[in-house]
Amino acid sequence: MSAAEQYLLLGLRLGKHVDGLVDAYYGPPELQAQVDSEEKIDPSQLAADADALLAGLEDGWLFDQVHGCATYAHVLAGDPISYSDEVEGCYGVRPQRVADSVYAEAHARLDELLPGEGSLFERRQAWRERHLCPGDQAVAVLDDLVPVLRARTYALLELPAGEELSVDPVQDEPWWAFNYYHGDLRSRVVLNTDVPTTGLDLLQLVGHEVYPGHHTEHALKEQLLVRDQGRIEEAIQLVPTPQAVLSEGIAEAGLAVVLDDAAKEEAYAIIRGHGLRLDDPGLAEQISKAVEPLGTVGVDAALMIHEEGVSVAEAQAYVEKWSLGTTEQAQHSVRFVTDPTWRAYVITYTAGRELCRAYIGDDPARFRTLLTEHVRIGDLRAAR
């Protein structure tokens, strides 16, 4: 059995222990059938299997993925691994607390930008509330934004013939939105309508989940790597692997690559056409940029809970203070970093965005490389 097949079996077997660990699988169906017919394999045995597979691999992309699986298997087996070691072992990036002064600087910039009167929190909430999209309307806005982003993505690189997607609302999930990639070039994108969302948030969501983000990456790699080259190791997406950092980085950085000024105006017109407020897009973009440094607050909360022994309530208060969100939003963030599947995953968004932006620079060809080839975390880090 090839190393790629062993990796697929390892990932599928780990997925039987934790719901959602296998983000997508479209590899050989006989491997899926084999795992489905098995009893759960003890995590300690899976850890040993992963270590054995790792020992026989040359340094490369597959080595990195198996190392992530091995780390996660050891965590499942109850081995004494710190949270930081778990994150670094899975993703190739080590979490670090961000100084409060960084968040204070972001607050100071927002204090300059946000209009109105009252506290910074009150003005931040008032700004968002003026631009909120009703949950039952959000999918219709998404549906109209998708063709704009698809056209701009297609101008960068040709998409596989037959790629398609659907968009559906969901509720009561620990995340804002999710792309369920089903293989055969198809995605189902779901939006958690419990999370307050603005028109510009929806534009970011399309860029992240669909074009040029997750759907685009998965469809291109399924066509180019799995179908054309037979690299079946690409046919599984696992939560605790460096592949996730790359995918989230692509999704976070890609919109700026494909969205020119004309496309922005087209997207803004769609948002306004649905009756949503968008009074000053330039100011909205500045505010979004100023908010960006606050994205690591969730990583800090995870470190506080899992390494510093801080209570969930204290971590929630920290998130609420620095993220300028509501109590409900802070609860949502803490729920994510304490969820068994997602607790380590929180680092992938900010670390992926930083690494991919540095790798891309001003070169769209580098973004095409991210979308179409296996790129390692070390490759991204070398570009910084």
DSSP string covering 346-366? THHHHHHHHHHHHHHTT-HHH
* Pair (236, 372) in one structural domain: yes
Mean pLDDT split into 10-residue runs, the chain, 384 residues: 97 95 96 97 98 97 98 96 97 97 98 96 93 89 96 96 93 82 96 86 95 98 98 98 97 95 95 92 93 96 97 96 92 90 94 96 96 96 82
* Pair (69, 182) in one structural domain: no
Could you tell me the two tokens for 325? 């969100």
In the DSSP assignment, the letter for residue 185 is T
Residue where a domain stops, chosen among 81, 111, 143: 81
Considering the domain boundaries, does residue 123 fall inside one? Answer: no
Residue where a domain stops, chosen among 17, 47, 81: 81
CB 336 within 8 A of CB 175: yes
As for how many domains the chain has, the answer is 2
**The pLDDT of residue 174:** 66
**Residue 142's domain spans which residues?**
132-276+355-384
Q: Which among 243, 261, 230 has a CA at the least distance from the CA of 67? A: 243
Could you tell me the two tokens for 236? 């599984």
pTM given for the model: 0.94
Determine if the peptide bond prior to 364 is cis (ω within 30°): no
**The pLDDT of residue 195:** 80
* Pair (174, 254) in one structural domain: yes
Q: Which residue has the tokens 């009756």?
A: 275
